[in-house]
Amino acid sequence: MLTSIDIKNFILIESLHLSLGHKMSVLTGETGAGKSILLDAVAFALGAKADAKIIQTKAEQATVALSFNLKPDHPARAILAEHEIPADTELDFRRTISRDGKGKIFINDIPVSAQVAAAIGETLVEIHGQFDNQALLNAAKHLEILDKYAGNAKLLEKTAAAYAKLSAAEGELETMRADFAKARADEDYLRYNFDELQTLAPIRAGEESELDSTRRNLMQNEKASAAISDALSKLGHSPDKPLADAAAQLARVKDNAKIKSIIENLEAAETLINDAHAALEKLAPANDTRTLEETEARLFKLRELARKHRTTPDELPALLKNMKDTLANISNSDETLKKKEAEVEKLRAAFTRIAEDLSAARKKSALDLSAKVMAELAPLKLAAATFTVDISPAKPSARGIDSAAFTGATNFGGKPAPLAKIASGGEMSRFMLALKVVLLVSSYPITMIFDEVDTGISGATSNAVGERLSKLGTKMQTLVITHSPQVASFGDSHFKVIKTADTENKKTITEVMHLDAKTRVREIARIISNEKITAEALAAAEKLLKH
């Protein structure tokens, strides 16, 4: 709910503070007093386009601030949270613009763009002015409005869920078809690659590192074997014979202690060299080059195929399995596709049943809504007008199989057309009023502002308009700018817009006065008597206020 409006240096308004009630408030005043300036100020604060021309003469900056009371479940909170704007129970908009055309918008003192302000503003205020684009004229929202009016929330939820399943299955089917088509085209090449990998089977993760380790060990063993063979060749078959022969020659020398010691050393050396020779012979197994060659061949082939398929050797087993599965799928592709197609058809049938139920509910509610709006048009001096909610087929979506459009005509025999193209400003306001009265709280209650809703009407028609605005005001805050005494008499609060001349500063100023019971009678009498207040006009005003 809009609780207050504060304006400074905006067009003809130098300074204004306006506190609003929660039901129906009316604004009256002389023609040209500036009643619509308030409407412009609200639109400006909520992100409408503006330039420096709105700044009052001699001022450097214009400012408009709006305060709203925000309920915990208000839809604006979702947008506020998205943009990290803190909000308790009060929401404050403040917008400024300076002479250089630069401006700023703040929501609860957080700077925001005009787009963000407008998005939040749409959930708070709906302005029905002669040249404004109302939400009810937006064809893109007509189906949503109809569904809210019909109470189709559960059907919509079921339809969206069925469509999500169908869309997912259709996507899987298309992917499957594309994969199978590509696989068939590449089948020969795929089978060649599969056979090439299959020749290495079994392949397992970690085999490359094991083969590499085995290869290194075999290469080390080969080097050691070669060294042992060389050593044995150097030693010959009887490496101890020269030592034994030398010892035998020295044994001829008798009773020579030194010679005896040398012989002992030669005999010890003979024993050691025999032991070394025997040990080397044991360490010299047959050199198995075939094992090393086989190890290297498998290792290098694994690495070659990994490079070919742009993967790692450890991922080759999974690649082989995928190839095997793909080839099997190609063989069974027709059967697989038939199963998937049957699943899609089953889901399509389920979606169609639910969407048709939703469509039937919409068509029934469309007739009901059309009839109720038509019933409201006659008292609003639109007896010749027609209103229809057209339901037509649409491409299946999460919202069903329908599109909706509000159409009408203002004259007998007129061809129905979109509302935005068939009515003048005053007629449009009354069309919107009729729709809003019927819809009432089909959408979240917001502040409704009506301008020129009484254009071209009087008497009983004006009374009917006032009654409907008052009825609307019981459900949502309503602000009405009016020239009609009948409409004004229905307001729960009444404000008068006054334009005065500031001769000292040579400028015109617009002010707003809250009327009490006595001044309200005089204001309505002024409207009745066309400015000159007479006793008869006062009596008529008092009578109007007693309804």
pLDDT tens digits, one per residue of 74-129: 989 999 999 999 988 999 999 999 999 899 999 999 999 999 999 999 899 988 76
Neighbours of 419 (CB within 10 A): 24
156-160, 161-165, 478-482, 509-513: the lowest-pLDDT one: 509-513
Residue 357: CB partners within 8 Å, gap ≥ 6? 155
pLDDT of 133 strictly over 60: no
Torsion, CA 427, CA 445, CA 477, CA 48, rounded to 10:
-70
The one-letter amino acid at 368: D
pLDDT of 289 strictly over 70: no
Check: CB of residue 9 under 8 Å from CB of residue 55: yes
Pairwise CA distance, residues 126 & 69, whole Å: 16
pLDDT tens digits, one per residue of 206-254: 888 888 888 888 887 777 777 878 787 788 777 878 888 788 888 888 8
Mean pLDDT score, 134-141: 74
Query: Counting every residue, how long is the chain?
Result: 547
Check: CB of residue 243 under 8 Å from CB of residue 266: yes
pLDDT of 24 strictly over 50: yes
Tokens of 182: 């590509």
The candidate with the shortest Cα–Cα distance to 2, out of 56, 76, 62, 54, is: 76
Pairwise CA distance, residues 407 & 387, whole Å: 6
User: Which residues is 186 bridged to in the sheet?
Assistant: none
Positive or negative, the CA dihedral 451, 457, 459, 461 is negative
Question: What is the band of 443 on the pLDDT scale with cuts at 50, 70, 90?
Answer: low
The runs of H, that is alpha helices, within 12-75 are 35-45
Neighbours of 421 (CB within 10 A): 9
% of the chain exceeding 70 in pLDDT: 92
* Higher-confidence position of 325 and 358: 358
Check: CB of residue 69 under 8 Å from CB of residue 90: yes
Pairwise CA distance, residues 357 & 155, whole Å: 8
Tokens of 255: 């009773």
pLDDT of 527 strictly over 50: yes
17-31, 295-309, 374-388, 417-431: the lowest-pLDDT one: 417-431
Check: CB of residue 407 under 8 Å from CB of residue 416: yes
| Burial zone of 279 (CB within 10 Å; 0-12 exposed, 13-18 middle, 19+ buried) | exposed
Pairwise CA distance, residues 148 & 491, whole Å: 28
Q: Can you give the pLDDT at residue 32?
A: 63
Tokens of 389: 């909610």
Pairwise CA distance, residues 531 & 527, whole Å: 6
* Higher-confidence position of 506 and 437: 437
Task: List strand residue ranges (DSSP E) for 49-169, in order.
Answer: 61-69, 90-98, 103-107, 110-112, 125-128
pLDDT of 131 strictly over 50: no
User: What pTM did the predictor assign?
Assistant: 0.59
Neighbours of 483 (CB within 10 A): 18
